[in-house]
Amino acid sequence: MIKMVVTDIDGTIYNPLKGMTEGVKACIKNLTENGIHVVIATGRTFSSAKYMADLAGIKEPIVGYQGGLICDYDGNILDVKYLNAEIAREIINDFKKRDIHLNVYVEDKLYVENDDKYIKDYIGDKGIDYFKVDSFDELDFSKLNKLLAIRYDCEFIDNLISEVRKKYPQIYTVKSFDYFCEMANREATKGNAVKFLAKMYGLELGEVLAIGDQNNDIEMVETAGIGVAMGNGTEEIKKAADYVTDTVQNDGFVKAIDKFVWGKNV
């Protein structure tokens, strides 16, 4: 029996073109009213994730930064894993030489050096603020959540991820979207977040359903008792999942819940 659902946001319960559908909202409401925990797990900041949690009517803990920060609904830190400052500065200096756009997240705040198209596109409707600095050198990296490199070139990002993984195997590097290379603490994964939450609630992993669409969701899909990939997901997550549901455009989240929680034929 499923007692907790851990879900990604973008491409899973939220469609950039349609927003969050009434069907998804009603589904989440039905889960919570029946005592099933619904937890958001995202690469977003806490503030941005909370904005989405409010939209969905979720009052549970929130997993941000791929698992690097877990807070209760009121923002109290339950678990945190920071990125090594020395490695981060090496990466930043290298990327700046190659004119790679970087978002830097410190204490749940987003900083950029360049107020450009990349950051404007990234912010979109995420409900978060960002701060421009003359140089990342002026920031205190003792509480660094993650780095995010953006380039509108899928092949470039794939090669960049391979390069960073080879050079810095001691950190977690993942593609969270076609154009995003994310770098965080080695233990900052959604899979570890699922384990943390299951232990916190006194649940077995077999009582957890996890659902997502991108490669940063693979760990949690593999960790949960039932791992579901969205129909619009990457080929990698589809291979890792126990089941592939419909697309976000067709409320694939709702269909997966109907099948595995309520036992409906979908």
pLDDT of residue 189: 96
pLDDT(239) > 90: yes
Q: Is residue 202 part of a domain?
A: yes
Q: Is residue 30 part of a domain?
A: yes
Note whether 151 and 192 are same-domain residues: no
Enumerate the H helices of 168-260 as residue ranges. Answer: 190-201, 218-223, 235-240, 252-260
Query: Which amino acid is located at 153 in the chain?
Result: D
pLDDT of residue 9: 96
Q: Let me know: does 91 contact 163? Beta carbons within 8 Å.
A: no
Note whether 126 and 171 are same-domain residues: yes
Q: pLDDT tens-digit profile of 173-202?
A: 999 989 999 999 999 999 999 999 999 999
Which residue among 120, 150, 185 closes a domain? 185
Note whether 109 and 170 are same-domain residues: yes
Which residue among 156, 185, 214 closes a domain? 185
Q: 226: which strand partners?
A: 209
Can you read off the two tokens belonging to residue 3?
A: 């007692």
Query: Which amino acid is located at 65 in the chain?
Result: Y
pLDDT of residue 224: 98
Q: Which range of residues forms the domain containing residue 236?
A: 4-80+188-260
Q: What percent of the chain has pLDDT over 90?
A: 93
Note whether 159 and 106 are same-domain residues: yes
pLDDT(26) > 70: yes
Q: pLDDT tens-digit profile of 91-111?
A: 999 999 999 999 999 999 999
d(CA 244, CA 233): 9
Note whether 160 and 118 are same-domain residues: yes
Q: Taking each helix axis from N to C terminus, what angle separates 46-56 and 22-33, rounded to the nearest 10 degrees?
A: 90
Q: Is residue 123 part of a domain?
A: yes
Which residue among 169, 185, 201 closes a domain? 185
pLDDT band of 126, cuts 50, 70, 90? low
For the chain, the domain total comes to 2
Q: Is residue 41 part of a domain?
A: yes
Q: Is residue 222 part of a domain?
A: yes
Q: Let me know: does 3 contact 37? Beta carbons within 8 Å.
A: yes
The size of the chain, in residues, is 266
pLDDT(19) > 80: yes
pLDDT of residue 127: 61
pLDDT of residue 125: 64
Q: pLDDT tens-digit profile of 149-172?
A: 999 999 999 999 999 999 999 999
Question: CA-CA distances (angstroms) from residue 196 to 14, 29, 134, 240?
Answer: 24, 24, 38, 21
pLDDT of residue 129: 87
Note whether 202 and 166 are same-domain residues: no
Note whether 74 and 16 are same-domain residues: yes
Residue 111: count other Cβ atoms within 10 Å of its Cβ.
16
3-state secondary structure of 10: strand
pLDDT of residue 123: 86
d(CA 202, CA 22): 31
Note whether 226 and 107 are same-domain residues: no
pLDDT(23) > 70: yes
